[in-house]
Amino acid sequence: MSIRPLPYAGWAGALILAFSSLSCDALNPALVGDLGGDAGSVGRGPTGSIVLVLNNQTSQELALQFDVKYTRAGEATTTQEAEFTAPAGGWWTMTLDCDTSAVILKQVAPVGGDDGIPVAVNEFRRPALQCGSVIFVNVPLLGSPTADLLP
Amino acid sequence: MSTLFPRKKRSTALEILTCITVGVLAGLSGCFNPAFVNQLAGGSVVPIAPGDTPFIHVLVINATQNSTVGMQFGWTPLTQGRNTAEYTGIAPEQQIGFLLPCPVEQIGLGNPNDLTQPAVVVTTEGGAVSIPASAFPLILQRGRDFDCGDTVVFTVIDSRSNGYGVEILPGRVRGSGQTGPFSGPDTYEIVELLLLGTGLPPTPVP
C-alpha cells in the first residue's frame, strides 16, 4: 500500500492550524510578549485609547459617573465603576484601554452636590465603540447633557 | 486541463488565494484584539500619541500580575485651574490616562499641593501599600523627557528590589515619530475638533 500525498495538504494544514489558533488566547498580546521573554518585565506598550471627554459649559465643577466594561480575548467581561471631574467652564478627559467593550454613562453631578442629571443617550458598546473612538459628553449652560460617539 | 492556467500557475494562485482567505476570515472572526492589532501595526491603525494635536497624553500601564494601582500626578503650569489628577482602581493589564493641553513644563508623580498624600497606592490580596512621591522621584521635563504631542507612559511592574513590591518605569511615545495616516479613528484629532466646536479649544501648539 502506498500513501499518496494529498494535493495542497500543506496549505490545508496551515489553514487548520491558523484557525485552531484563533481561540484568541494565542493572540493575547501579553502572551506574545511572554513568549518573547519581555512581558514579564514590562508588559505591553501603549496600544491606542478610547477617549472620554467631559465638556463642562456650566459654572460649577461637574463629575461624570460611569461604568466601564472590559472584555479581553478569552477572558470574562469585567465591570468597573469610574468617575472623573471637569472644572467649571472647562473640559477634562479620561483615556481608556482598547479592551473596553462598553461604556455606560450613569450621570453628571455637581461635585459635592446631591442631584445628578442622567445623560439621554448613555450606552456605547462594541462594535460601534472601537479602539480610537471618542465619547464626547457635553453639558451646556442651559439644557440637558448630551453624549455622542465618534466616529 | 485548461491551457490558460498551467499546473504550476494554478498552484501558485491557489496558495495566494489561501493566504488571502486566511487573512480575511481571521479578520472577520473578530477574534483579534483591537489593541493587539494596533500594536502589531506599530500604531498605524489608531494613533498612540497626540502627534500634531496640542495635547500630552499621560498614560499609566499596569503591567503587574495581581496588583491594582492608583496614581496621583502633578504638573506645571496650572491648566484649567488644575495641577493635579488622581486615577485609581487600575487593574492588571489595564491602561488608563488623561490628556493635558500644551504647554506643560513638568509632569511628576504625587500631588504638588500636598506632598504628604501618597503618589501611588498598590493594592493586592495582602492589603494596600501607600507609596510617597519620594520613593519614585520622577519629574519629567519638557524638551528633555517629553514634548507636546507625546504620550508619557508610567509603566508599573512587579519588583522585589524595594519594599513596595513595584517599580515605575517612565517612558514616552514620540508624537513626532508617529506615522500616519491611520486606517482607524484619528482619536486626538477628533478630540481637538470637538473642543474647537464648543468654544473651549486646547491651547495651540507654540
Residues contacting residue B155 through CB under 8 Å, at least 6 positions apart: A42, A43, B60, B61, B63, B168, B169, B170, B171
Whether B161 has its CB under 8 Å from any CB of chain A: the answer is no
User: What is the amino acid identity at position B142?
Assistant: R
Q: Is residue A79 part of a domain?
A: yes
| A17/A57 same-domain check | no
Query: Chain A partners of B97 at a C-beta cutoff of 8 Å?
Result: 49, 94-95
| Number of compact structural domains in chain A | 2
Q: Find the farthest-apart pair of alpha carbons in chain A and give their distance in angstroms, rounded.
A: 88
| A142/A101 same-domain check | yes
Match domain B55-177 to its CATH number in 2.60.120, 2.60.40, 2.30.30, 3.40.50. 2.60.40
| A36/A79 same-domain check | no
Per-residue pLDDT in tens (0 to 9) along chain B, 206 residues: 444 555 555 566 666 665 555 444 444 444 555 555 565 555 678 999 999 999 999 999 999 999 999 999 999 999 989 999 999 999 999 999 999 999 999 999 999 898 888 999 999 998 999 999 888 888 899 999 999 999 999 999 999 888 899 999 999 999 998 877 888 999 999 999 999 988 766 654 43
> Count of CB atoms within 10 A of residue B97's CB?
28
Q: Is residue A3 part of a domain?
A: no
Structural domain harbouring A58: 50-150
| A77/A100 same-domain check | yes
User: Could you say which of B33, B169, B171 has the minimum Cβ distance to residue A99?
Assistant: B33
Please name the residues between 38 and 67 in chain B that touch chain A, using a CB distance below 8 Å. Answer: 38-39, 43, 45-49, 57, 59, 61-63
Q: What is the mean pLDDT of each run of 10 residues along chain A (151 residues)?
A: 46 42 34 27 74 94 95 87 94 95 95 85 93 95 92 91
* Distance between CA atoms of residues B81 and B79, nearest Å: 5
Q: What is the pLDDT of residue B36?
A: 59
For testing contact with chain B, the best of A25, A51, A61, A69 (most B CBs within 10 A): A51
Query: Chain B partners of A96 at a C-beta cutoff of 8 Å?
Result: 95-96
B-chain residue closest to A91, CA distance? B200
Counting one residue from chain A and one from chain B, the pairs whose CB atoms sit within 8 A come to: 193
Q: What is the pLDDT of residue A17?
A: 39
Q: Is residue A20 part of a domain?
A: yes
A96: nearest Cα among B174, B61, B167, B63? B61
Q: What is the pLDDT of residue A143?
A: 86
* Distance between CA atoms of residues A107 and A87, nearest Å: 16
B38: nearest Cα among A109, A99, A19, A23? A99
Residues contacting residue A54 through CB under 8 Å, at least 6 positions apart: A62, A64, A84, A85, A86, A91, A92, A93, A108, A137, A139
| A55/A30 same-domain check | no
* Distance between CA atoms of residues B107 and B126, nearest Å: 31
Whether B9 has its CB under 8 Å from any CB of chain A: the answer is no
| A57/A110 same-domain check | yes
| A22/A66 same-domain check | no
Q: What is the pLDDT of residue A24?
A: 34
Give me A10's grid cell.
Answer: 500543506
Q: What is the pLDDT of residue A37?
A: 26
Q: Edge-to-edge strands of the sheet including A134-139?
A: A146-150, A134-139, A50-56, A90-96, B95-101, B55-62, B151-158, B166-173
| A33/A91 same-domain check | no
Q: Is residue A140 part of a domain?
A: yes
Is the Cβ–Cβ distance between A70 and A77 less than 8 Å?
A: yes
| A18/A69 same-domain check | no
Q: Is residue A2 part of a domain?
A: no
Binary contact (A29, B151; C-beta < 8 A): no
Give burial (CB, 10 Å; 0-12/13-18/19+) of A26.
Answer: middle
| A30/A72 same-domain check | no
Question: Which 3 state secondary structure label does DSSP give A5?
Answer: coil
| A54/A126 same-domain check | yes
The alpha-carbon gap from B116 to the nearest alpha carbon of chain A, in Å, equals 22
Q: Is residue A88 part of a domain?
A: yes
Torsion of CA A31, B35, B140, B179, to 10 degrees: 120
| A17/A77 same-domain check | no
pTM higher than 0.80 for the full model? no
Residues contacting residue B90 through CB under 8 Å, at least 6 positions apart: B60, B62, B68, B69, B70, B71, B96, B156
Residue-wise pLDDT for B91-112, tens only, equals 999 999 999 999 999 999 999 8
CATH code of the domain covering residue A93: 2.60.40
Q: Is residue A1 part of a domain?
A: no
Q: What is the pLDDT of residue A90?
A: 93
DSSP B32-67: S-HHHHHHHTTT-SS-SS-TTSSEEEEEEEE--SS-
